[in-house]
Chain A
C-alpha cells in the first residue's frame, strides 16, 4: 500500500476526528494583508476521497472535513480548540437543554433563508429511524432529543432527555442542510444544499472536487467572511493518494498544499514550503482480554506495558514528529484534558516485569519462552500498517517483549484486516499501535465497555468498573466535574492495562503561496488565504 494511502486509510478507520493545530509557523492571521492575492484558485491535494457527500450518511473524516466547505454549523471549534459562534450568536446550557440565539440574514446557496425551523428540521431528520442517520449513536448518544424552533424570535431550543456533557462539541460536527437538500437527501451526493462559504460546482469521485466562493457570505465561525483579502475565488481539492506524487505536484507548483507525513516530506523541508502540524488523534495499545487469551491475564498486560519505552515508540511511529509518550486516548480534543490519568500507567523496569510474570506463574522454559500450565506465552501482535513508522515501531515493541521471554507473532494488517480481527475473528492478543481519532471521550464508551461482538462493539472484552461506572456518569456531566470523571475513567483503564496511550496521530501539511489553519487535521476553509 502506498504510504499516502495508508496515512489516509488510517484516518478513515475511525469514525471522525477533531484535531488542534499543535504548531503553526504561518497562520493566516499573522500575515500582512498586502501580501494577499486577489481572487485566484487554491489547489489542495487530499489523500482520500470524501465518500458520500450526504452529511447524514457519512461521518468519516474526509467527508466531515469537506462538509465544512459547503455547510454551516450552529457553532464551531477553532484551531485552538475553543468553541466559537457560527449560525448561533450565543447559547446557554441548562442540564439537557441548549438554547441558541440565531444569526439573522443567513441564506442558503439557492437563496432560501436559514431559519430556526430549517435547523430544527435537521435534528428531526437525524432522529427519524427511517433515515438511518450515522450521527446517531456516534456524536449523539441516542434519538431522545427534541428541537423546538421559534422563527419569530430567531431562537432554537434543543432538549436532550438525558444531559449530555459533550453536546456543544457534538453540535459543532452537525452540518445544517438546507430545505431543498433535506427534502431529497439523495441529491446531496452530487450537489450541495448548504449555507457554507463555498458551493460545490464539480464532484468527480476519487478525482476532484471544485468549490466556488459564495458572494456575501459573512456568517462564518467567529465572524469569518468571504470579503476578507486573500480568500480564493475557487477551491480545487484533488484526490492524490500517493504521497510521492503529492510531493512532486507541490515541487512542480501544481498545488498549494498537501498533507505529507512520511519520508516524502523531507524533499519539501527546507525548501520554499512552509509546514503546519496538527494532532489528528491518538495511537494506543489495546489488549484483547477475551477468555483464553494470554492477555486476559492482568500480570501479562502490565508486564508487557512496563518494559516498553513508550516515548521511543512514539518517536518511531510518528517518524520523529512526536518524541514524547502519549498522554491521552483522545489527545486531539480540547473539551476535556484527561492527561493526568497517565500517572496510572503501569511502570517498572525489566526485572520488575519479569518478577510480575514469574509470580503470576509464567515461568521461562529451556527455550527461553515463558509458559504457564504448559501453555507458552505466545502473543499475536496485530498492527495497522498505515505509515512508514508502524513496522519499525512494532519491531521495537516486539524486541522488548521477546526479552521478557514472550513469543511474539507480528501481524501487519490494513484497516479492513483490523476490523476483521476486532469484529469478526477476534484473533489478536494485542494491537499495539491502533489509531483512535475521535472528537471526545464519550464516543469510546461502547468500544471500551459493554457487550462484545456480535452484540456490541467492545471488541477487547474490557470489563473495568472503574471505567464504565465513571464514564456512565461523565457522559451526563458537563464541565469540569464531567472532565474529572473522564479522567477517573481513563485511570481505571490504564491501571488495568486495558488500553495504553502510546503517541499522537500527526498530520503535517506543506503549503506554498497560501496559508490556512487546520480543523480536524484538515484545512479549515474559512481560514484559507492565497498569497502573492
Chain B
C-alpha cells in the first residue's frame, strides 16, 4: 500500500498518512450497497411490470388449470417476500434459476452471452477514452488563450450535434455505409471481432463527442496552471509538456467521467445489440422483458448492473492511484 506523497508536477505535498484502508473500506461498503440495490431493483422491476409470464409463454388459449399448475411449479404464487428471499438464496448460490421460456439455466445463458457484451463495452470504453482525450487535448491546445476561435466554434457545433444523436441512428448509418454499401463489415450477427466494430462505434460516438468537450475545457484549465507556464518558460518540448505534465492531470477527470459513461455504454448495448443482432446481455434483457421471462431478465439485469458497480469501483481505485489527491478529497 503506498502512502500519499503528493503530486510532484502540481507541487502538492501532504503529511504522510495512509489513507488507503479507509478508502477501501468506504468503497467496499458502497459496493455492497450497490449490489443490494441492483439485486433488489432487478427483482422488483420485473415483478412490477404487468403481465403473467406463464400465460404469455403458454398462450391465451392454454387451459386455466395448466397455467395455474405451471405458476405453482415456478413459485410465482408465493408471496413476494418469499420469492425475494429465494432469489437472494439463488444469487448467493450462483443459481439464478431457469428461463421460463427455454427452461435452460439462466447462468448458462448469461455465460454464453456475456462475452460479447463485455468485449463490446470494453472496446467502446477504450475508444471513448482514447479519442475523447486525443480530440479534447488537441482542440484545447490549439484553441488555448482564445486562439483559433473559428476552429473552436466549429468544434463546438460538431461535438454538440454528435453528442445528441442516438446510438441506434449511428448504428443504422454505419450499417448502410460500411456493411450494405461498401460491404466492408458484417451487417449483423456474431462473426468474431469484425462483428463488434460497427456496434462499438455506434455506442461510442456520442460519448466521444461529449467527453471530448469536457477534456477540452480541462485542457484549457490545466494549460493555464502555473506549473505548465513554468514548464513552458523552461522551454520544455511541447510534446513533453502535454504528455508528462498536462495529460496525467487530465486523465483523472476523463477517467472519472468515463466511469460514469460506462453506465451509458452498458445501457446502449440494449439497443445496439438488437440493431446488430449481436447476442449479448443487452439483447437478452430486451427479449426477456418482452416475454416476461422473469428469471432471465432478473439475471441479465443483475449482471449488467453489478458490472457497472464493480467497474466504477475499479475506476475509483485507478483514479486514486493516478491522482493521490483524490484520496484526500475522498477522506
Contact = CB atoms under 8 A, between A and B. Distances in A.
Interface of A: 1-2, 5, 9, 12-16, 49, 51-54, 57, 59-60, 132, 134, 136-138, 189-190, 204-208, 238-242, 244-245, 248-249, 251-252, 254, 414-417, 419-420, 422-425, 438, 443-444, 446-447, 451, 453-457, 459
B52 A424 contact: yes
Contacts of A420: 50-52
Given A1-B290, A238-B277, A51 B57 contact: yes
Contacts of B283: 206, 241
Given A206-B283, A420-B51, A447-B60, 9 more contacts: A132-B66, A189-B103, A205-B104, A205-B109, A240-B188, A245-B277, A419-B52, A453-B64, A459-B60
Nearest 9 CB-CB pairs, A to B? A416-B51, A15-B59, A137-B63, A207-B279, A240-B277, A248-B187, A420-B50, A15-B61, A51-B101
Interface of B: 49-52, 55-66, 69-70, 73, 99, 101-104, 109, 112-113, 172, 175-176, 179-180, 183, 186-190, 274-277, 279, 283-284, 286-287, 290-292
A241 B271 CA distance: 12
Contact of B59 (A9, A16, A57): A16
Interface centre among B56, B109, B113 (most CB of A within 10 A): B56
Contacts of A49: 101-102, 287
A239 B277 contact: yes
A425 B283 CA distance: 29
Nearest to A9: B290
Nearest to A141: B63
Contacts of A251: 180, 187
Contact of A242 (B51, B180, B275, B292): B275
Contact of B175 (A138, A204, A205, A248): A248
A454 B290 CA distance: 23
B276 A245 contact: yes
A443 B274 contact: no
Contact of A14 (B52, B59, B180): B59
Given A205-B102, A254-B186, A248 B180 contact: yes
Contact of A189 (B102, B176, B276, B287): B102
28 contacts: A9-B290, A12-B56, A12-B59, A13-B59, A15-B60, A16-B59, A51-B57, A52-B102, A132-B69, A138-B59, A138-B61, A138-B63, A207-B279, A208-B279, A238-B189, A242-B274, A252-B179, A414-B290, A415-B56, A416-B49, A416-B291, A419-B51, A419-B52, A422-B60, A424-B50, A455-B64, A456-B64, A457-B62
B100 to A, nearest CB: 9
A451 B292 CA distance: 26
Interface centre among B51, B102, B274, B291 (most CB of A within 10 A): B102
B270 to A, nearest CB: 12
Given A49-B101, A134-B62, A245 B187 contact: yes
Contacts of B292: 416
A59 B189 contact: no
Contact of A206 (B55, B56, B284): B284
B50 A416 contact: yes
Contacts of B172: 244
Contacts of B189: 238, 240, 249, 254
A245 B188 contact: yes
Nearest to B288: A206
A452 to B, nearest CB: 10
Contacts of A60: 57, 59
B264 to A, nearest CB: 21
Nearest to A186: B103
Nearest to B179: A252
A194 B276 CA distance: 33
Contacts of A457: 60-64
Given A132-B66, A416-B51, A419-B51, A252 B60 contact: no
A237 B141 CA distance: 53
Given A51-B101, A189-B102, A249-B189, A137 B276 contact: no
Contacts of A12: 56, 59, 291
Contacts of A2: 274
A385 to B, nearest CB: 12
Contact of B65 (A53, A137, A419, A453): A137
A425 B52 CA distance: 11
Contacts of B275: 242, 244-245
A254 B73 CA distance: 42
Contact of A254 (B51, B60, B187): B187
B197 to A, nearest CB: 15
A423 B277 contact: no
Contacts of B63: 136-138, 446, 457
A52 B113 CA distance: 18
Contacts of A456: 64
Given A206-B283, A245-B276, A59 B59 contact: yes
A249 B188 contact: yes
B67 to A, nearest CB: 8
Nearest to A248: B187
A417 B290 CA distance: 10
Given A54-B103, A419-B52, A204 B279 contact: yes
Contacts of A422: 60
Interface centre among B69, B190, B277, B291 (most CB of A within 10 A): B277
A1 B290 CA distance: 9
A206 B279 contact: yes
Nearest to B186: A254
A443 B61 contact: yes
A423 B61 CA distance: 11
A454 B175 CA distance: 48
Interface centre among B58, B65, B70, B113 (most CB of A within 10 A): B58
Contact of A51 (B66, B102, B276): B102
